[in-house]
Each structure stands twice: as structure tokens, then as C-alpha cells.
Structure 1
Amino acid sequence: MALSELNRSVRLFFTQIQRYLCDAACQPQPSPNENEAVNPTFENRNPRNLEFMALAVKDRGWKTTWPHREFYHRLVFSRTQHYVTAQVFSSSSPVPVLTCSTKEWALKKELTSTRAVAACQAVGDVLAQRCQQAGITRMVYKAIPWTFRSDAVQAFRAAMKDGGITLSEPRRKYIGT
């Protein structure tokens, strides 16, 4: 009885090996020409494609509103008594798309002060990296005129520019009608 069970388990083992070898050998290999073929009915579903080409509609809003609403992405930088915060807003949403603050533990533990010029520069570096990862490379940033000349704001702007972010957007192109 033990010999028949052993014989049966050996037969099962060999059939599993044969199936594995057949599956590996029977799979068709793709030719290099198939991988390079492009579908003739390509449809770009990227919602930001028109934004990159400066053809997407910008909401103009009222002329008397401040800050102006004619943007794809807007950068808001604020300093409070204890913290520094930077947020990127989309024109279609009141909720920020990206944020960075010295309230975050990863930034807070590396800084001696959460409000100093070095903190503003660190927030600019981290936010620029997050923007690059999200694919946002251009945004509008208009500082309040009386705060623009401070060293902290200048350090933040320099860090954003060094991170590869352009702090202006292209003018919208109008297609002739």
C-alpha cells in the first residue's frame, strides 16, 4: 500500500514538471516590431495637455478681486509667528494640491528654528521637489508688495527657482475664430 502511494505521488510530480516546462516553452515571444507599433487611433487623455500648451481656459474672475484668478496653479507663501507654510492651489479647486510646512515633523526635526530664513529655504526646496514629482513646473506667485523684499521671501523664491520651478505662467494663446 505504501508503494502505490509513493508511485502515485511520483507520477503527480512528473506531470507537474511537464506542465511547467510546456507552459514556459509554449509561450509566444513578442517580436520587436510589435512593441514599437503605435495605435493609429491614439487619443490623449491627459487633462493637463492643454494647460502645458497654454490653450486651456483660465478663469478670469472680476478685475477687482485680489489675488487674480487667471492662473492654472497659484503658489501661496505665508509666515506666521511660529511656522512657515507654502501651498499650491489649482484654479479649479479651493483645496490645495500640494503643501509644505515647518509643522511637518520631517522638516521640523532638521531645523533649529521653524520661522528663520533657513526654514523658508528648506520649505522652498521640499515644495519644489514635490512639485517636480507631481509634474507641476510652472505656477503664478505674486507676493504682497511690502513683504517681497524680506530675506525670507527671497530665500524661498531662490529655492523654488533652484528646484526647477518657474514662478510665472505663459500667457494664454487664443485660437482665431
Structure 2
Amino acid sequence: MLAGECFEKVELCCTCVLQERLERSLKQDDGLRFASTTASLKTETEVDTSENEVVAPNFTNRNPRNMEQMALARKERGWKTTWPKREFWHRLRLERTQHYVEAFVERSNGDVVVSASTREWAIKRHLYSPKGVAACKNLGRVMSQRCLEAGINFVNFKAIIPWERHCDSIQEFEKAMEEGGVVLREPRRIYR
């Protein structure tokens, strides 16, 4: 047998196998359609891009925090006699109870945006005690990560009782927040 004859038999065998597979697939799936095999070049008409340059007369801001991030948004000043002051966009609160430590970031209207607590099992299982200095430090790490994930880079942390600021747990919490990348004071508002 010559090499050419062998090649022809293999080629015929392959085409037979392919035809059988095609027939089987056509029987299984009636929705199969073949595309046109003719090569036809269609030219698309040129798109007029001048309408993209027109600016809409009414602008709708779809990012409500945009003014805060540019430090142009108004801060509610409230009354001078209120404590803690309400002059912030986001305030960080740390509450230590008898058994747990909780941290919140809240807006000036009182809505809690981000929170973390040693009551959460994901945090609690890594701690020896859910209320000590180590718990506050780890809570600061978790809180800074959650703040950055939520897009909050600046928070106000002046809302604690002044004599508690010297406590070791609060200082470790502050240090962990700053090491995590969150600035614990908000930028000054730009007045126009």
C-alpha cells in the first residue's frame, strides 16, 4: 500500500466520523443553524459623534458623598451647648461595656454606616478576652479595614469623654485605626 492511499483512507474515515457526529448532534438539538459561508463585507455608516459633545442643561449628581469628599458639603453645626458636637460627616464611636467592645461609624443624622464588635464570632474567636486592650487593638484593625472598604477615609473621633482618652485601650484603638489607613480627623470644610 502506498502512502498516498493510506492518507486518503484516513481522510475518508475522519470525514465519515465527523459526518456521523454532526448527524447525531442535529438529531439531539433541532435549534442548530449554520451561519452563511459566503464572505460579504458590509460597510457600516459613520456615526455622528457631535451629539456626544452636547452638555445637558440639568446636572444630576449620582454620588451623594461627592461634596463630602471634596470638603464642600455643609456640616450641621447644631447648637453650641450640645455635647458631643454634631459638626461632622462621619463620627467614630467606641463603646466599652462590661463584657464587650463595640465601634461604630455614624453619619451626622445618626445612621450607622459601619460597625464592628467583639460580639461578632469572626472577631471573638481570635481573642482571649472580648474586652481588654488586645480586643480594642484588634477591633481597631477590623474597623479600619471596613471603613476603607466602605470608602470612608476620614472620621471624627473627638466624641469620647475627654478623661477616657488617656486609657490604654482607647490609645491602642486609635493607633490601630491610624495604622490601618483611616485619618481620625475630618478635613476642614471649604467655604465658597
Q: Structure 2 length as normaliser, TM-score?
A: 0.72
- Mark the CA change 1:8 to 1:134 in structure 2 (over 3 Å): closer, same or farther: closer
Q: Compared with structure 1, are the counterparts of its residues 10 and 167 closer, same or farther at alpha carbon in structure 2 (3 Å cutoff)?
A: closer
Q: 1:39 to 1:152 in 2, by over 3 A?
A: farther
Match of 2:178 in 1: 161
Asked if 1:105 corresponds to 2:121, the answer is: yes
Aligned length: 155
Aligned-pair CA distance for 1:10? 3.7
Root mean square deviation of aligned Cα: 3.0
Report what 1:61 is aligned to.
78
Dislocated runs of 4+, deviation >4 Å: 11-15
The secondary structure found in structure 1 opposite 2:67 is helix
Residue segments in structure 1 that go unaligned for 5+ positions in a row: 1-6, 27-33
Is the CA contact 2:26–2:32 (under 8 Å) kept in the aligned structure 1?
Answer: no
How many Å apart are 1:124 and its aligned residue? Answer: 0.5
SS of 1:16 mapped into structure 2: coil
TM-score, with structure 1 as normaliser: 0.77
User: 1:18 maps to which residue?
Assistant: 34
Which residue in 2 is equivalent to 1:138? 154
Aligned to 1:91: 108
Query: How far did 1:9 drift?
Result: 7.6
Change in Cα spacing, 1:62 to 1:111, as seen in structure 2 (3 Å) is: same
The structure whose Rg is larger is 2
Which residue of 2 is the match for residue 172 of structure 1? 189
Question: Aligned match of 1:124 in 112, 137, 140?
Answer: 140
Structure 2 alignment gaps of length 5 or more:
1-22, 42-48
1:130 CA displacement:
0.4
Verify the 8 A CA contact 2:157 2:185 in the aligned structure 1: yes
Q: Residues of 2 paired with 1:9 and 1:131: CA distance?
A: 54
The 1-side partners of 2:29 and 2:130 are apart by 66
Flag the 1:83–1:39 CA change in 2: closer, same or farther, 3 A: farther
| Cα distance between partner residues in 1 of 2:170 and 2:76 | 27
Distance in 2 of aligned mates of 1:91 and 1:60? 10
